[in-house]
């Protein structure tokens, strides 16, 4: 039996009452939280963590990302979206190999653990490679092999059948830490017949669907022209929302769209840093989603090509700031709600329905944040300090299913030094940097 | 003679050509950079820093803040501006003592050094206390004792004369690291007669003026009603801009205002995180300032009550993201320009005119950023990685006037542990927390 005893932490439980406990112990047995409160002094534990001045929080669930895009971090800067995509990102990705995806995902996993992420929702190619990373890292994930409405395409990997087959082959692997979903890219690149096929498969295999929806008004206009319906109406007519759906972005919604999404219980991950960096207008703010009865709004980093980091604390802060500023309302989106979006709502989206709350019997998916730092004092309001002042680097310990993935900022499951070197060299090759530059950083 | 030898750093010089040097040495002798390039192996140095995989950058100059407001970090959350100010901030500040200001400023100094700030422009009360902190910390600063257009006010300190006298008593102290300015709060709380007196004193003592200008359209409307002029026109008529002026915010400007500010060479610090957190509309974006010929736009954190941290990397990223998003233009405000705003332009605003560039003969005001971290790889673009991915905690070394203030994340000039404890206890007392809460955190 594996036991971790966390001593004297301040615990932000994120339970229904918003309970915050000061200076209490947490006892973890195997995969779950056994007890929160006072632990008898004679308790035996494999690992004892002195957490005086630390805050325990449910770990973050990144509800939408493309983790292997670490390779393109900083590769396409200060460009309009069509040039960003067509001249830089797709050109670079066309040279991608399955091994590259492995190392890109491994680099992302190092970064995510360091920033307190315990689970992520990934949508990319060669996802069997990403699954290997998830298995090795100890993280939780929901993985979708991105599919376009096409047949074989040697450029981006094996045929559509193999891509779809990935989902049921890997579902519930890694001791249940890997969930899979079907990943049709979006209604604008997947024709209705292809989406219908995905919907049938989702039903046959009981798999969620993870796709991009209504990222711009332009997409809505195009959909109306092509199908006489908005993207949300179109997908609803096809029956897609009758399955567990994660519909990323949903930035431009009509009132009817919002009613459909609320009624169907669709999860909507928002990735605010991408919207700001690529200047994508958020026509339907989170406040409006909430007012429309859509309670399942989660948060994600998106890919590191359009955000540039995978730090969920940065995402949380950005969402809160963007909401207050764009609504011209400093009361919009209080910190407690933003933390729930980044933890329990994301966990539910990914099918880890018990995570995101610190309570006895819940999965031990949690992080410790060191508040013994000048920017986190005074502690008038732990929630405010976490949302507006804490940074990824303040997180010292990460525990997933009762396994320590990081102890005192040291990664325990991944060979970070090798990953940094290998991933960077491969990223340089992928973008066809001249060899002199690659050589400069050979270490 | 004090010598620091930094080995094998990548150097982002921020010189006029944007030169970036890879894997070179920096030799610092006393207060200045002696050499950048290859340093002979037999060189003697007091301190040798192995900086392979590190980036050297000019240190940050925070061009507008109220550093002792660390005491109110997290004390007034999710509130509209009038309630934020009247019900929370001013009530708390009314209990402030000079000793409180010392400890609040000391807490801020710890935080600023940890985030790579080498100089800051502070505007608050009891500034002799802040000056003691600057002297002890090794930082550079421009300090203004905030004055309202009033006489004696026992609530906020000594009389206006003493407040103004601070400026010439402390100017150029701490071996030239302290500059002072006159700090009339703003045209909306300082009547014309008082501002005229300040302007006369600025001329007599050759001191800059640091104040708040045009923070909202409401202020502009009120000024027009009272004086028949915008705040900028009003200050210009009084002759204020004939002196070196730092006019914080300037969020609502007319075309004529912009012409005046360009013509007079006024420095304009922007504090984007405050604008977002308190939902203050930026009616005149940085892009428009630049297009109007206003080149002296700097960046600041503002006080930690309205921003919640003093991390200039967070400010830089926020300014870039806000500019791209609000202009609906992903090409707006490239990273290189944002870095210059946060370094050399801020340094010039504070009168440290040679800082902000890494070149031989320049003051050794610089930082090292550790790029051996997953979120900073691959290194396709060092500028992009710094602006969009780096965090304060990636900064390992801070050097000011050739003195190391932080080595490998260890503060060398301040007793951080004592400061954290003392500042927090005093902050709790200031906001009149019940004593049970204060006791909880006694350590």
Minimal Cβ distance to B74: which of A380, A428, A441: A380
Nearest CA in chain A to B440: A22
Instruction: Report chain B residues whose CB lies below 8 A from the CB of A271.
Output: none
Minimal Cβ distance to A324: which of B108, B277, B309: B277
Instruction: Report chain B residues whose CB lies below 8 A from the CB of A423.
Output: 377-378
Neighbours of B8 (CB within 10 A): 15
Nearest CA in chain A to B114: A374
CB pairs under 8 A between A and B: 224
Minimal Cβ distance to B279: which of A77, A325, A379: A325
Torsion of CA B333, B339, B345, B351, to 10 degrees: 160
Q: Where are the alpha helices (DSSP H) in B244-326?
A: 255-264, 272-277, 286-291, 312-326
Q: What domains appear along chain B, each with residue ranges and CATH number?
A: 3-58+355-411 (2.30.40.10), 60-349 (3.20.20.140)
- Tell me the Ramachandran region of residue B352: left when phi exceeds 0, alpha when psi lies from -120 to 50, beta otherwise: beta
Per-residue pLDDT reduced to its tens digit, A122-179: 999 999 999 999 999 999 999 999 987 665 444 444 566 777 889 989 999 999 999 9
Reduce the secondary structure of B133-192 to three states and give it as a string: HHHHHCCEEEEEEEECCCCCECCCECCHHHHHHHHHHHCCECCCCEEEEEEECCCCCCCH
Give the per-residue pLDDT at B151: 52
Distance from CA of A189 to the nearest CA of B (A): 24
Per-residue pLDDT reduced to its tens digit, A299-326: 999 999 888 999 999 999 999 999 999 9
Instruction: Report chain A residues whose CB lies below 8 A from the CB of B334.
Output: 77-78
A79–B377: do the CB atoms touch at under 8 Å?
no
Tokens representing residue B73 in the block:
């970090």
A378–B428: do the CB atoms touch at under 8 Å?
yes
B278–A391: do the CB atoms touch at under 8 Å?
no
Per-residue pLDDT reduced to its tens digit, A93-134: 888 899 999 999 999 999 999 999 999 999 999 999 999 999
Tokens representing residue A250 in the block:
């949903």
Beta bridge partners of A147: A184
Instruction: Report chain B residues whose CB lies below 8 A from the CB of A384.
Output: 73-74, 77, 308
C-alpha B166/C-alpha B101 separation (Å) is 15
Complex confidence, ipTM? 0.95
Query: Which residues have a Cβ under 8 Å from the Cβ of B51 and sit 6 or more positions away?
Result: B6, B7, B8, B9, B368
A318–B322: do the CB atoms touch at under 8 Å?
no
Instruction: Report chain B residues whose CB lies below 8 A from the CB of A388.
Output: 74, 277, 307-309
Give the per-residue pLDDT at A158: 55
Instruction: Report chain B residues whose CB lies below 8 A from the CB of A325.
Output: 275-276, 279, 322
pLDDT in single tens digits along all 443 residues of chain B: 799 999 999 999 999 999 999 999 999 999 999 999 999 999 999 999 999 999 999 999 999 999 999 999 999 888 887 888 888 888 888 888 999 999 999 999 999 999 999 999 999 999 999 999 999 999 999 999 998 766 544 434 456 677 788 998 999 999 999 999 999 999 998 999 989 999 999 999 999 999 999 999 999 999 999 999 999 999 999 999 999 999 999 999 999 999 999 999 999 999 999 999 999 999 999 999 999 999 999 999 999 988 999 999 999 999 999 999 999 999 999 999 999 999 999 999 999 999 999 999 999 999 999 999 999 999 999 999 999 999 999 999 999 999 999 999 999 999 999 999 999 999 999 887 544 444 455 54
B433–A380: do the CB atoms touch at under 8 Å?
yes
Reduce the secondary structure of chain A to three states and give it as a string: CCEEEEEEEEEECCCCCCCEEEEEEEEEECCEEEEEECCCCCCCCCEEEECCCEEEEECEEEEEECHHHHHHCCCCCCCCHHHHHHHHHHHHHCCCCHHHHHHHHHHHHHHHHHCCEEEEEEEECCHHHHHHHHHHHCCEEEEEEEECCCCCECCCECCHHHHHHHHHHHCCECCCCEEEEEEECCCCCCCHHHHHHHHHHHHHHCCCEEEEECCCHHHHHHHHHHHCCCHHHHHHHHCHHHCCEEEEECCCCCHHHHHHHHHHCCEEEECHHHHHHCCCCCCCCHHHHHHCCCCCEEECCCCCCCCCCCCHHHHHHHHHHHHHHHCCCCCCCCHHHHHHHHHHHHHHHCCCCCCCCCCCCCECCEEEEECCCHHHCCCCCHHHHHHHCCCHHHEEEEEECCEEEEECCEECCCCHHHHHHHHHHHHHHHCCCCHHHHHHCCC
Distance from CA of A112 to the nearest CA of B (A): 9
Using alpha carbons, list the distances in angstroms from residue B56 to B116, B337, B382, B395: 11, 17, 11, 10
Beta-sheet pairing, B297-299 with B32-37: unpaired
B374–A79: do the CB atoms touch at under 8 Å?
no
Instruction: Report chain A residues whose CB lies below 8 A from the CB of B114.
Output: 373-375
Please check whether residue B272 is in contact with residue B318, taking contact to mean a CB–CB distance below 8 angstroms: yes
C-alpha B196/C-alpha B178 separation (Å) is 25
Minimal Cβ distance to A71: which of B307, B378, B383: B378
pLDDT in single tens digits along all 443 residues of chain A: 799 999 999 999 999 999 999 999 999 999 999 999 999 999 999 999 999 999 999 999 999 999 999 999 999 888 887 888 888 888 888 888 999 999 999 999 999 999 999 999 999 999 999 999 999 999 999 999 998 766 544 444 456 677 788 998 999 999 999 999 999 999 998 999 989 999 999 999 999 999 999 999 999 999 999 999 999 999 999 999 999 999 999 999 999 999 999 999 999 999 999 999 999 999 999 999 999 999 999 999 999 988 899 999 999 999 999 999 999 999 999 999 999 999 999 999 999 999 999 999 999 999 999 999 999 999 999 999 999 999 999 999 999 999 999 999 999 999 999 999 999 999 999 886 544 444 455 54
Neighbours of A222 (CB within 10 A): 14
């Amino acid at each position: 039996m594996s036991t971790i005893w966390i001593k004297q932490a301040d615990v932000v439980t994120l339970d229904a009452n918003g309970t915050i406990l000061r200076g209490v112990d947490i006892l973890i047995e195997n995969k779950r939280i056994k007890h929160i409160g006072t632990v008898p002094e004679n308790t035996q534990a494999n690992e004892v963590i002195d957490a005086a001045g630390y805050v325990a929080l449910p770990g973050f669930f990144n509800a939408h990302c493309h983790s292997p895009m670490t390779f393109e971090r900083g590769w396409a800067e200060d460009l309009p979206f069509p040039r960003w995509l067509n001249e830089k990102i797709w050109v670079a990705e066309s040279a991608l190999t399955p091994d590259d995806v492995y190392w890109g995902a491994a680099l992302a996993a190092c970064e995510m653990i360091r920033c307190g992420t315990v689970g992520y929702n990934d949508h990319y190619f060669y996802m069997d490679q990403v699954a290997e990373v998830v298995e090795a890292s100890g993280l939780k994930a929901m993985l979708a092999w991105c599919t376009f409405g096409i047949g074989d395409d040697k450029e981006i990997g094996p045929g559509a059948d193999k891509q779809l087959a990935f989902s049921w082959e890997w579902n519930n692997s890694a001791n249940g830490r890997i969930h899979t979903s079907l990943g049709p890219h979006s209604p604008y690149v997947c024709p209705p017949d292809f989406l219908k096929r995905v919907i049938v498969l989702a039903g046959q295999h009981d798999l969620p669907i993870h796709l991009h929806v209504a990222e711009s008004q332009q997409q809505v206009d195009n959909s109306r022209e092509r199908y006489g319906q908005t993207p949300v109406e179109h997908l609803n007519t096809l029956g897609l929302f009758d399955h567990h759906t994660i519909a990323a972005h949903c930035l431009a919604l009509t009132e009817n769209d919002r009613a459909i999404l609320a009624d169907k219980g669709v999860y909507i991950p928002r990735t605010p840093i991408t919207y700001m960096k690529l200047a994508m207008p958020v026509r339907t703010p989170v406040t409006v989603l909430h007012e429309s009865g859509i309670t399942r709004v989660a948060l994600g980093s998106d890919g590191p090509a359009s955000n540039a980091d995978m730090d969920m604390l940065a995402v949380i802060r950005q969402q809160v700031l963007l909401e207050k500023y764009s609504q011209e309302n400093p009361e919009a989106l209080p910190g407690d709600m933003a933390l729930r979006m980044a933890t329990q709502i994301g966990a539910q989206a990914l099918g880890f329905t018990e995570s995101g709350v610190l309570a006895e019997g819940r999965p031990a998916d949690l992080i410790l944040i060191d508040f013994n730092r000048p920017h986190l004092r005074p502690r008038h309001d732990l929630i405010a300090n976490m949302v507006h002042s804490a940074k990824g680097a303040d997180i010292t310990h990460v525990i997933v299913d009762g396994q320590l993935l990081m102890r005192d900022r040291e990664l325990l499951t991944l060979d970070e030094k090798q990953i940094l070197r290998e991933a960077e060299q491969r990223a340089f090759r992928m973008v066809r940097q001249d060899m002199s530059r690659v050589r400069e950083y050979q270490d």
